[in-house]
A and B are shown apart, each in its own frame.
Chain A
Amino acid sequence: QQQVKQSPQSLTVQKGGISIINCAYENTAFDYFPWYQQFPGKGPALLIAIRPDVSEKKEGRFTISFNKSAKQFSLHIMDSQPGDSATYFCAARQMDSSYKLIFGSGTRLLVRP
């Protein structure tokens, strides 16, 4: 069963706008929440990540907001650029020795110039 739910499936924003992607998880046994960016035909690249003891993390134009009680976390892309057009995956890492990542279903972002 899917333990990490991601929405929306696709998103279109204008250049300079804010892109927001949401994820929710169902299992509390996660200790790390990364976001990955993937361009067509390429492997995912780690974008930004957060641990559950922090409510927000910002790196440049990218911010993760984390709500532990609601079991939700989101990615905000400020001043979105056409070069940000890609598929974004949230993930949650299992809190055991396996270090397995459970991925969301992905969000295809299109930033119009």
Chain B
Amino acid sequence: GAVVSQHPSWVICKSGTSVKIECRSLDFQATTMFWYRQFPKQSLMLMATSNEGSKATYEQGVEKDKFLINHASLTLSTLTVTSAHPEDSSFYICSASGGRRGEQYFGPGTRLTVT
């Protein structure tokens, strides 16, 4: 149980284009989803928290107009990187939380490379 998937697993895009990453909870309803980014050999950095049906809450320093998050249902959240630049290249990981205990289960990550 508690499986979270991400799609795509890796993506290469050109500078200036937008990329959408999907995060799905496969066997539970996720009332809250989190988006992280991770640079090589570094820890996870929380970008934003999203609750189903409401606007995402962004961490300080994260541009909400650049990183668009939609949590349209209890099993799906999307992160859209708009007007991507090479410095946006990173490993993006989502996690989903549901139920009383609030444990977070992580997706496999999406490797974004912007050329």
Residues on A lying within 8 angstroms of B by beta carbon are 32, 34, 36, 41-46, 49, 89, 93, 98-101, 103-106, 108
The 9 closest A-B pairs by CB, nearest first: A43-B106, A99-B102, A43-B109, A43-B108, A44-B106, A103-B43, A43-B93, A105-B43, A103-B44
CA distance A63 to B97 in the complex (A): 24
Q: List 6 A-B contacts (CB under 8 A).
A: A32-B102, A42-B109, A43-B109, A44-B93, A89-B43, A105-B43
Least CB distance from B27 to A in Å reads: 15
CA distance A89 to B91 in the complex (A): 16
Residues on B lying within 8 angstroms of A by beta carbon are 4, 6, 32, 34, 41-44, 46, 49, 57, 91, 93, 97, 102-109, 111
Across the interface, do B44 and A89 meet the contact criterion of CB distance under 8 Å?
yes
